[in-house]
Structure 1
Amino acid sequence: MVTNSSNKMTNILLVLLSVSVIATIGTILYHFVDTSYQTETAIRATADESKIFDGVYVRNETVLTYSGSGAVSYQVPDGGKIASGDVIAEVYPDESAIESQQKIDALQEKLDVLERISNPGTLEQAQPADLSRQITQYYKEAVGYKDQMNLTSAKEAEQQFLEAYSTYQIVISKGSVSFADQISSLNSEIADLKAGQSAPVGTVTSDASAYFVSHVDGYETTFSAQHLDEVTPEQLSQAIANPTKPNQTEDLGQSNVIGKSIAEYGWYMMGMIDNKDQKYQVGDQVTIRLLNASAEAPATIQELRTVENSDQVMVVLYSDTLTSDFVQNRTDHVEMILGEYEGIKVPRDAIRFKDVEETETDEETGKKTTKTVNARGVYVQDGEKIEFRRLDVIYEGKDYVLSKLHADDGYLMLYDSIIVEGIDAIGN
């Protein structure tokens, strides 16, 4: 009987142990399935509140002409800045005279370089180690600018490279290398060319401080500041589709047009934007960014003009910051930036709502009151704990939001593990 009782007790214990093991395994499996969340680390991100559109420039432009006939030699590059009285162009009897002047200018440039690096004062101060570093630097700059198709800067870097390299040759040779013969030859060649050179028959000068552009597009009158209120959406569309009119000089009534000057003060940009959400208002300070050149200028929204039979509005921007990047074209593909935001990036799919208690303090009496609010936030995983963290949204993107960087308890913080999938199992 004792043996039977002992066997029964053993069997009962084995059953209980089996049930316990099965329950433990079941619990583990349940938690494994139920709490296998997919998480995403809360990281810092930035975003722009902006609109991208094709902008049309409206500026104070003066068409420049010359009387008579001849070949024009420009003295100022496109987009170059000019002061009052500066010579913009010289007019020669024919193209051969211009070619002769161009040869003289090129030879004179070489002569100036050789005379500069042969100057005793320059050689006394030159150090081989410094020159070696400059040679490497200018070479890398020249290659980089060529890759960027910035030919003007590439040429300048090449010139600096040649100067540094030639000076290095003279310094390390300790006087055995000389450019005296080349200097003499260049002086002689320049003198011969000047002797047979034709003088310019006329010049075109600037009557005010401005930027110079060597071409006209036929819209100088249409898109002038004086006619700002008369510009129509159709005119904007025409300029965007055809930035240059086919017969622009005829439209201007000029035959000897050599370009135009653009006043270096206030200018406008106009374009069509969607503003259904009313995010943009007259008086807003924005930034105009050229998408093709990465140049920027501050501007103010001067007008949001309603357009009949259109869901869009005509935006009129004003800026008093002008650089060469903003005078090259009649139209540009631009981004109008209203604000730049920085915060914690949160996927929209992870956002949930939960009733939380919120305490407010009356500033006058100091009395504290507690109320329940339905807060927007996310669930985060902290080890085995699941916690709800509130969001302070400062920017709304298409599939994400940015939450303000907070140090307060209860708010989402950097590097929290945001649960993006699986949280619905515990409810909202």
Structure 2
Amino acid sequence: MARRFFKQFGMTILSLLLISYLVLQLALNVGDLVEIEHVTYATAMDKKELDAYIFRDERVIESNASGTRSYIIDDGEKTNNGQQVAITYSENSSAAVQDRIRDIDRKIAILRKSVIGNGKSTTNLEMLDEKIDALTFDIIRAVNDNDLDKALRLKNDLTVQINRRQALITPPTETDKQTDYEAQIASLTTEKSSLEASLTGASVIHTTTSSGYFYSAIDGYENVFTMEKLQNLTIQEYNELAKETPDQRLIENSVGKLVVDARWFLVCKVDKRTASAYAVGSTYDFVFPYFSGRNLGMKLQRTISQTNLNEVVLIFNTNFMPDGFNYTRTQKVELVAKTYQGLKVPVPAMRSVDGQTGVFALDGNKIIFKKAVVLYEQNDYYICALPVDPQYPSRKDKAYVSDNSVSLYDQVITSGRNIYAGKILT
């Protein structure tokens, strides 16, 4: 029994020694294993998150009329002075009829655009297919960006192109008038006339008092974020804006509002040190999380500061009114101080050798050292300068591959043991 025990014990010891030997040999023979990543081209932005307020020149269209309201024009549509924008009916049925009339007007507008003309763009099937493909992808992108208003507008354009294509493939006949758009327009026009004649009950027509862009939504801040307040704004008044509340009376007794000037303003506050980096008259990019994180350039119009306060109010403006933009009065924005473009290099790949900053890269199975000029650091990578082609020193060429400086698509080493320039990996 004892002999059997010692035999098993001895076998166990020998097994452990054998395993230890194998582990040691494995460790000695995998010293050349390295991890690599490819250098890519990237853009990074030095951003500062801020709380911002939006000011626009707005005129509220007030009304105390009670009943069911029907809008004649769409949000964001440009209007003239004295133009009808909505009708309030005393009877619900009349409002429903007016909504149907508006729907007919939209269909007639689409059908009129669908009528095939003599131009190449409306008679060339290949060009129509290209437009249909482009509009389809634009709608998909708009939906992905949560810009449903834009998607709906593009849907009408897509319908027009599909109608034109259908008319080319299957022209109308005596028995099939599906693509006879002129006949459909005539039928809808007759229906519209009949509906207009059936309207009964009292109604109030709401018209504009000036030209501008119409919006049916009222947030109650129209009398707070005014051009007059912006013109005379102080730092103390800016700090008080957060305490403002919406005017419910305005919300309940208004048909909508007119934005009478395409120019709108973004107002935010920073410390004096940050403000010193921005120059009046220059344009800076903002990232708007409420606008699917997209960028918008705005010009710094003026600044507000006081000698006894370490705060500066920055007032930016732009005339650009993007489709589907969210004009929520108070929102988080990211002010882009500077944009960097260059080579994206992982942080673990960056090293210092003999006082020079650079990376170890692979040239076949040989390790070489290549210098790198760091422009910006963000999270887990650096943005580095492109290498300079000595034949074209003033040109930034992404495709140029340098023997001495990190270049696009280089295989850089992010981890490994006993790494040095000149080593041959086996």
- Root-mean-square deviation (Å): 4.6
Provide the secondary structure at the position in 1 that maps to 2:291: coil
Contact kept, 8 Å, 1:391 with 1:404, in 2: the verdict is yes
Deviation, 1:60, is 2.0
CA distance in 2, matches of 1:308, 1:192: 71
Partner of 1:319: 318
Deviation, 1:411, is 2.2
TM, length-normalised to structure 1 = 0.67
Bigger radius of gyration = 1
Partner of 2:392: none
CA distance in 2, matches of 1:142, 1:425: 49
Percent sequence identity is 24
Contact kept, 8 Å, 1:350 with 1:378, in 2: the verdict is yes
The answer to whether 1:78 aligns with 2:75 is yes
The answer to whether 1:399 aligns with 2:398 is no
Identify which range, 414-423 or 125-134, moves more after superposition: 125-134
* Aligned mate of 1:217, from 219, 231, 246: 219
* Aligned mate of 1:227, from 221, 226, 229: 229
CA distance in 1, matches of 2:271, 2:29: 49
The answer to whether 1:202 aligns with 2:196 is no
Deviations 1:147-178 (A, max 9, x none): 5563523641564266337635751x544323
Partner of 1:163: 163
CA distance in 1, matches of 2:386, 2:253: 62
Deviations 1:276-326 (A, max 9, x none): 77784344531123334345431134448699999x976543333333444
Deviation, 1:33, is 5.9
Provide the secondary structure at the position in 2 that maps to 1:266: strand
CA distance in 2, matches of 1:42, 1:60: 48
Contact kept, 8 Å, 1:271 with 1:315, in 2: the verdict is yes
Deviation, 1:400, is 1.9
CA distance in 2, matches of 1:143, 1:265: 25
- When residues 274 and 397 of structure 1 are mapped into structure 2, their CA distance, relative to the original with a 3 A threshold, is farther
TM, length-normalised to structure 2 = 0.67
CA distance in 2, matches of 1:144, 1:307: 51
Provide the secondary structure at the position in 1 that maps to 2:256: strand
Contact kept, 8 Å, 2:349 with 2:413, in 1: the verdict is yes
Provide the secondary structure at the position in 2 that maps to 1:220: coil
Partner of 1:290: 288
Partner of 1:266: 263
CA distance in 2, matches of 1:190, 1:98: 14
CA distance in 2, matches of 1:145, 1:378: 39
Deviation, 1:344, is 1.4
Deviation, 1:345, is 1.7
- Number of residue pairs aligned between Structure 1 and Structure 2: 370
- When residues 83 and 401 of structure 1 are mapped into structure 2, their CA distance, relative to the original with a 3 A threshold, is farther
The answer to whether 1:416 aligns with 2:414 is no
Identify which range, 80-89 or 418-427, moves more after superposition: 418-427
Deviation, 1:406, is 0.6
Identify which range, 256-265 or 318-327, moves more after superposition: 318-327
Q: 1:8-407 counterparts in 2 under 5 A?
A: 35-66=32-63, 71-110=68-107, 129=125, 133=129, 137=133, 140=136, 144=140, 148=144, 150=148, 152-153=152-153, 155-157=155-157, 159-160=159-160, 163-164=163-164, 167-168=167-168, 171=171, 174-178=173-177, 186-198=188-200, 201-208=204-211, 210-228=212-230, 229-230=233-234, 235=240, 237=242, 245=246, 248-250=247-249, 252=250, 256-271=253-268, 280-283=277-280, 285-294=283-292, 295-301=294-300, 302-303=302-303, 315-326=314-325, 328-355=327-354, 374-383=355-364, 385-407=366-388
